[in-house]
Amino acid sequence: MGALLDALGQAWPRLLIYPGGLSALGLAWLLARWMAFIRTPHPDAERLPPHQELIAALPPLLALTLLPIPPARTFPYGIDLLTALALLGWPQLYSQAVRGALVGTGLRTLLQGYSLLLLGATAMSAGAGGIELRRLLRAPDTALGWGLMLGGSGLWLLGQARLYRKGRAAHLGDLGCLWIGAMPMLAALTVGAADRLPSGWAGWALPPLALIIAALMLGAARRITAPCE
Amino acid sequence: MQRLVAFILALGLAAALFAAWLLRDAPLTPALAHGLLRADALSAFFALVTTALALAEIGQGREKSPLRLLGVVGLLVAAYLSGHMAVTAALFALAGFLRIIGRHPSEALPMILPIICLSLGLASMGLRADEWRYAEPGAGAGLNSGAFVLLLLAVLLAGGFLALTDGQSAGPARQIDPIFGPALLYPLLRLDSLGPWNLGWLAATLLIGGAVALWSAWWAATCASGDAAAWLQRYLIGMALAGIGLGSGAGLALAAFALLTMPLISLGMGVAVHHARPWPLWAISAATPLSAPFVAAWVGVAAATAGHVPVLAMILWAAALLTAVPVARLATGRNKQPWWPQDWRLLVAAGLSLALGGGAPLALTLLVAPMASQLAGGLSPMGEIALWPWAGLIALDAARQPVASLPTFAMAGIMIVLAALAWVGARLLARRKRRDEG
């Protein structure tokens, strides 16, 4: 009990600054601007009332807080892919349900996107040897493991591109999914570049680099999978 | 009469919980009963589930003859407590006949078929081993593929799985019996007391369970709201079958959590379908973290990952996502309707779902771990769902390495802080808006 309270007490930088809190809000805004710059049509989500938007934003914020991304301080009670996807996908499902879009075309689009996400998640977890998120940051022992992790990351981002929607809470979910898609790249970058960087720089320089690569891939995937305006 | 029966069933539920606690260390086998009576953690667990399912039926007001339902539950509980396979079969048969009294023969006959399969399966094992008491050392010699197929067929027939072919629930062998469907999993799980299963049986159960779960979830996502409850129950039976097919402690945990979720789904969906905006139903959705269906889905994916069956993990994951669709559709309902008042039965189902999800470590300790230790002879070490002290649940593979984690307590703690911050933020924004307007 003491260990749990201690960990919760020391989690405030995660909650307020990084990877949750202010950095999450800022990065989600940047991601939304980037996706707007891609100039692909975004199905307009019905604006939720502010209090509902706030409720919808809490689960993705929780997931972002618990992401095991450097240089954030280690948190001993990490979540796994299934829990992360449930938390990050909440705003999407909630807004779709409120709009009455869980039938017909809306349901088909949702299932297509999620099937790619699930394929990606399964490939990543098969490569990493488990569904714990922290495993995605470790280098696999075999080339097959690398292939599964990086291929899975690509499928994950492709699925995310199909599911992309407007909405403040949804943008937080998208940012969390982007971080997860970036994790295998971060593992690859760490293996390839950590020794070439000055001591202590890898934890600060590589996560933003992996996130930028993932965002570029997401933009490209969105551009390919959605028709131009 | 309904209230009296509900009260008796509630007492039964409390007694089953107490029995589960009492039997957590060792089974109870009174010497005077000569092996006819044998109560263990599995018996107590099924007594709990059957009683809860009967309570859910009463709660929905669907049961026309509550006394008869009470009789059925009593006979089934007696069957779970029997250590003699012939007595178990006879008690199941009696309960089955009591269930179909007054029904049209065309409707009753498909319900007799699972009982016939069950009786033949158990008789085949007893005759082959020449030992009818399953706890005796020689009983394991009776395990045979014919009996296994018959017991599996009994589960499928009672679940009305013929409906999977075209999604139509009307007609013979297409309707799930809410009491018997899950109850017939007991004889199948009891096989673990006789010895380990061969790989063929495990593979068959795993494949059928996974297919049933995914197929039922698909129909649940695409059918009319009124039919979703039955499909969700079939989905949970499929999950339980997949768990049994994994043949490990983690698989047993999957079967247990799927069965524990069933009464909540049954009550919640059954009540919600008559309401305009039953938002508490969100707490019974597999998409809501820390709800009972979510934890059941997590245990499924974690058990499959721990058993190194990634395809099953993906199937169970996809099935869980599909089952979130009908619940979300129903929960949102006609969104313009007032959000209060709500039906108290729905609130009870939602509250219990969150309690079971959040308190999953407790359920694991009280109900699942004793079952796993008492059935250890029939289980493989390919995965275990273990307690993560003061954090939640963790899935371990055969090498005892963690492969999945669900820190329920830590998540709940941070969520409370986040919600408090959001509330303060919302109040500040509202005050600023009022000041600007003023």
Residue A14 belongs to a domain: no
Tokens of A164: 């992309």
Q: Identity (one letter) of the amino acid at A221?
A: A
* Probe site for chain A from B403, B409, B416, B429 (most A CB atoms < 10 A): B403
B372: distance to nearest CA of chain A, Å?
23
Question: Tens digit of pLDDT for each residue in A57-110?
Answer: 999 999 999 999 989 988 889 899 999 999 999 998 888 888 888 888 888 888
Query: Pick from A1, A59, A131: which is nearest to B404 by CB?
Result: A131
Whether A113 and A205 have beta carbons less than 8 Å apart is answered as: no
Residues in B 320-379 with any Cβ partner in A closer than 8 A: 321-322, 324-325, 328-329, 331-332, 335
What confidence category does residue A41 fall into, taking pLDDT thresholds of 50, 70 and 90?
low
Rounded-to-integer distance, Cα A24 and Cα B410, Å: 20
Residue A31 belongs to a domain: yes
Range(s) of the domain holding residue A186: 23-38+45-193+201-225
Q: Which of A44-53, A84-93, B183-192, B311-320 has the lowest mean pLDDT?
A: A44-53
Whether B240 and B42 have beta carbons less than 8 Å apart is answered as: no
Q: Identity (one letter) of the amino acid at B230?
A: A
Question: Tens digit of pLDDT for each residue in B84-107?
Answer: 999 999 999 999 999 888 777 777
CA dihedral sign, ordered B99, B103, B107, B109: positive
Whether A94 and A178 have beta carbons less than 8 Å apart is answered as: no
Structure confidence at residue B29 (pLDDT):
87
Rounded-to-integer distance, Cα B236 and Cα B212, Å: 9
Average per-residue pLDDT for chain B: 92
Residue A4 belongs to a domain: no
Residue of A nearest to B316 (CA): A118
B172: distance to nearest CA of chain A, Å?
29
Please determine, for residue B172, whether its predicted confidence score (pLDDT) is greater than 80. Answer: no
C-beta atoms of B410 and A77 within 8 A? yes
Residues in chain A, total: 229
C-beta atoms of A100 and B332 within 8 A? yes
Query: Pick from B314, B317, B404: which is nearest to A132 by CB?
Result: B404
Residue of A nearest to B424 (CA): A54
C-beta atoms of B397 and A130 within 8 A? yes
Measured between beta carbons, which residues in chain A are less than 8 angstroms from residue B331? 97
Cβ-based burial of B97 (10 A; exposed 0-12, middle 13-18, buried ≥19) = middle
Please determine, for residue B435, whether its predicted confidence score (pLDDT) is greater than 90. Answer: no
Residue of B nearest to A3 (CA): B390
Rounded-to-integer distance, Cα B18 and Cα B366, Å: 10
Look at A46 and B251; give whichever has higher pLDDT. B251
Question: Tens digit of pLDDT for each residue in A209-226?
Answer: 999 999 999 999 998 887
- The interface pTM score, or ipTM, of the predicted complex is 0.93
Q: Which of B141-155, B170-184, B315-329, B342-356 has the lowest mean pLDDT?
A: B170-184
Strongest mean pLDDT among A50-54, A194-198, B313-317 = B313-317
Q: Which of A60, A52, A76, A78 has its CA nearest to residue A20?
A: A60
Residue A80 belongs to a domain: yes
Residue of B nearest to A54 (CA): B422
Please determine, for residue A140, whether its predicted confidence score (pLDDT) is greater than 80. Answer: yes
Residue A90 belongs to a domain: yes
Q: Which of helix, strand or coil describes residue B339?
A: coil
Residue A16 belongs to a domain: no
C-beta atoms of B328 and A93 within 8 A? yes
Query: Pick from B222, B310, B417: which is nearest to A122 by CB?
Result: B310
Cβ-based burial of B414 (10 A; exposed 0-12, middle 13-18, buried ≥19) = buried
HEC profile for chain B? CHHHHHHHHHHHHHHHHHHHHHCCCCCECCHHHCCCECECHHHHHHHHHHHHHHHHHHHHCCCCCHHHHHHHHHHHHHHHHECEHHHHHHHHHHHHHHHHCCCCHHHHHHHHHHHHHHHHHHHHHHHHHCCCECCCHHHHHHCCHHHHHHHHHHHHHHCCHHHHHCCCCCCCCCCCCCCHHHHCHHHHHHHHHHCCCCHHHHHHHHHHHHHHHHHHHHHHHHCCHHHHHHHHHHHHHHHHHHHHHHCEHHHHHHHHHHHHHHHHHHHHHHHHCCCCCCHHHHHHCCCCCCCHHHHHHHHHHHHHHHCCCHHHHHHHHHHHHHHHHHHHHHHHCCCCCCCCCCCHHHHHHHHHHHHHHHCHHHHHHHHHHHHHHHCHHHCECCCEEEEECCCEEEEECCCCCEEEEECHHHHHHHHHHHHHHHHHHHHHHHHHHHHHHC
Rounded-to-integer distance, Cα B181 and Cα A229, Å: 53
Whether B145 and B202 have beta carbons less than 8 Å apart is answered as: no
* Alpha-carbon A181 to chain mean position: 6
Residues paired with residue B394 on neighbouring β-strands, in sequence order? B386, B405
Q: What total number of domains does chain A contain?
A: 1
Please determine, for residue A44, whether its predicted confidence score (pLDDT) is greater than 60. Answer: no
End-to-end, the C-alpha distance of chain A in Å comes to: 55
Residue A95 belongs to a domain: yes
